Structure 1
Amino acid sequence: MALVVAGLVVLDCAEPEKLAAFYRELLDAEETDASANRVEIRGADGMRMAFRRDANATPPSWPRPENSLQVHLDFVVEDLDAAERRVVALGGRPLEAKDAPGPFEERGCADPAGHSFTLLRTPAIAPKRG
């Protein structure tokens, strides 16, 4: 067995219940554990996240260059427009409006607490030639 086993991504926020609900809907996830200060979810693909209460949590100020990203999540999607609409409908917001050209198009977004993440378009895979 490995010395260290992968755990889960934990985001600090003022209202873990609300942020967990955002990601639960976005990732088609289920709540796996909850306490007064922490909520955990597991996405349909097995991704695990937790949201820890921190009354003094402040969102990162990305994309301002003088501050670090702090944490960054990438979510692979088939349809960027549909995924971005879903983010906005759930209370998130786009961070930038320009599309990146090429097979790895992406869009920056923020969850309702201000944590940034990227929606990455699933690259088309050409069929094998025999």
Structure 2
Amino acid sequence: MTVHKTSVLVLDCADPVGLAEFYATLFGARIRIGDDPDFVEIIGHQGVHLAVRRDVGHAPPSWPRPEDSLQVHLRILVAPGDMDEAEREAIGLGARPVETHGGSGSRAVRVYSDPAGHSFSLAGHPEPSPHGPN
């Protein structure tokens, strides 16, 4: 028998409440702070479940510098027609665009860093068919 499991992506940062507010607002989600104020969860209505944890020695990743590897990033899926609006929301909340293609290439995937320096992308993703997969 397989034991039921779930997962949560945890981002380390210096200010967990501040970063949780960024993602909660971006996703239209809510924040849950439990007994440990250094561990804050972001819980959304469509499966969004992230957490942020205080790391007093946190240093933001330096990706996309060529000598560094991207260890993890969050890909946020949006309808292709909503990409520009999603980008405005993210930047308005404090995200910083990260240009990795020298200004050329597909704008179907747009890369940013969050206020704590973690990489994330907005990616065009077609709406699922109401009739299921083709």
Give TM class, smaller chain: 0.7 to 0.9
Q: What is the CA–CA distance in structure 2 between the aligned matches of 1:2 and 1:111, rounded to whole Å?
A: 36
Q: What is the CA–CA distance in structure 2 between the aligned matches of 1:50 and 1:32, rounded to whole Å?
A: 9
1:75-94 mapped onto 2 (5 Å cutoff): 75-78=76-79, 79-94=82-97
**Could you state the TM-score of these two structures normalised by the residue count of structure 1?**
0.85
Deviation per CA, 1:22-52, whole angstroms, max 9, x where unpaired? Answer: 0000111112334321101112212211100
Match for 1:9: what amino acid?
L
For structure 2, which runs of at least 5 residues remain unmatched after alignment?
Answer: none
Q: What is the CA–CA distance in structure 2 between the aligned matches of 1:19 and 1:8, rounded to whole Å?
A: 15
Q: What is the CA–CA distance in structure 2 between the aligned matches of 1:118 and 1:110, rounded to whole Å?
A: 8
1:21-32 mapped onto 2 (5 Å cutoff): 21-32=21-32
**Could you state the TM-score of these two structures normalised by the residue count of structure 2?**
0.82
Query: Secondary structure at the residue paired with 2:110?
Result: strand
Equivalent position of 1:100 in the other structure: 106
Q: What is the CA–CA distance in structure 2 between the aligned matches of 1:54 and 1:65, rounded to whole Å?
A: 25
Match for 2:17: what amino acid?
E
Match for 1:76: what amino acid?
L
Aligned-residue Cα RMSD (Å) equals 2.3
1:1-130 mapped onto 2 (5 Å cutoff): 2-3=2-3, 5-34=5-34, 35-78=36-79, 79-96=82-99, 98-100=104-106, 105-123=108-126
Identity of aligned residues (%): 46
